[in-house]
Amino acid sequence: MDCEPLHLVLVSTPIGALGSGRGGGVELTLASLVRGLLGRGHQLTLVAPEGSRSPQPSPSLHLETVGGVDQPSWQHAEHQAPVTIPADGLLPRLWDRALALAGEADAVLNFSYDWLPLWLTPRVQQPLFHLVSMVSVAQVMDQQIADLARWDQRRLAFHTQAQANDFALPAPARLVGNGFDLGAYSFQARADGPLGWAGRVAPEKGLEDAAAVAAALGETLLVWGVREDEDYAQRVEAGVPAGTIEWRGFLPTKALQQQLGQCRALINTPKWNEAYGNVVVEALACGVPVVAYNRGGPGELVQHGRTGLLVTPDDVDALRGATVEVASLERRHCRAWVEANASQEVFAQRVEAWIRDGLVARDGSIA
């Protein structure tokens, strides 16, 4: 690395301890980026909820944990919902600690999709950067992202263009994709295994459509992920013949990739505009082609006819047909795409370049 290493303070999501799975894809993103940045020689301080596990043992990584009540997720809020911070809230405590630690750092990188850190950005001396993890879900968040973009859009980065298109940005979006520790994913050449589905078990993930496909084909669908909405999970299971769904739960990466890699296809059925699609890339890294709705991030990740098949969103018949056809694809193409586009090394390089660009003074100041 030609430039001097950076000292960065990273602030985790205020929804669940790292390693619990409750933070969803943000946990995987943060862990991958930590490893990638450490590999590039940077000094990191990670501020995370109490009970969090360090993504990577390293003398260059210091973990600070903070207690408090989890922040409600914007993902399940009404579009007109106001900002809510609970008593003894974890979110302000995370940021109180992060700003106290940031005096000696070059920048602070925020992973949470929350109003408070966005609002703080033009009001504090420390340079704050935000890797936006979700799409438009609430008016107050849309407004805050738009306001910050007008102040200095260099402080914002997005995973995909489909995600960035949800927001009112005055300039082209900074896209950094995502990254994965490919050493943790083994390529598996077999193409005759079961069908798989992975993600938080919640209505916006569309598990019922994948279950319907498996039922129509008379097959079992392996399902990995936290059952976030238990009533929804039970409704999906009741809607298909007994035995159609085999619940595998939330697994750490090593166990997940061993099981997922045996699948002949991953079915991805988002009912909303996914910002990226981590499970899509995890499957591809194992050599598993993906059948997905052409909606949001997955529509940009899957190379139609090469690493998977894309179908019209919510067309279950088309999804079923593609699931039958997808086994003919060459699985090595799936792994090759991930190596070229979504390794943790490539991801860390993109994020580092974004932060360095944002730290360059503009017209005599940061903004």
DSSP-derived letter for residue 89 is B
Nearest to 95 by CA among 11, 8, 7: 11
Residue found under tokens 């993930």: 205
- List, for residues 192-203, the tens digit of each pLDDT value: 899 999 998 999
pLDDT value, residue 101 = 97
Nearest to 240 by CA among 202, 198, 269, 210: 210
Q: Which residues contact 75 (CB under 8 A, 6 or more apart)?
A: 134, 137, 204
pLDDT value, residue 365 = 45
Tell me the domains of the chain and their CATH numbers: 7-179+343-359 (3.40.50.2000), 182-341 (3.40.50.2000)
pLDDT value, residue 22 = 81
Residue 289's DSSP bridge partners are none
pLDDT value, residue 84 = 92
- List, for residues 44-82, the tens digit of each pLDDT value: 999 999 999 999 999 999 999 999 999 998 877 889 999
Position 238: which residue type? A
Q: What residues in the chain have per-residue pLDDT under 70?
A: 1-2, 363-367
Structure tokens at 123: 């009001």
Nearest to 189 by CA among 334, 338, 340: 334
Q: Which residues contact 308 (CB under 8 A, 6 or more apart)?
A: 265, 280, 284, 289, 290, 291, 292, 302, 326, 329, 334
Contacts 24+ apart (CB under 8 A), 113-119: 113/13, 113/26, 113/74, 113/141, 114/14, 114/71, 114/74, 115/83, 115/140, 115/141, 115/144, 116/83, 116/85, 116/91, 116/92, 117/11, 118/144, 118/145, 118/147, 118/148, 119/144
Q: Cα Rg for the chain, rounded, in angstroms? A: 20
The dihedral sign for the CA sequence 262, 264, 267, 273 = positive
Position 297: which residue type? G
Q: What torsion do the CA atoms of 203, 206, 212, 214 make, to the nearest 10 degrees?
A: -120
* 3-class state of residue 215 by DSSP: helix
Q: Which residues contact 311 (CB under 8 A, 6 or more apart)?
A: 291, 292, 293, 294, 318, 319, 321, 322
Model pTM score: 0.89
> How many alpha carbons fall within 13 Å on the CB side of residue 24?
22
pLDDT value, residue 1 = 53
pLDDT value, residue 196 = 98
CA distance 179 to 278: 9
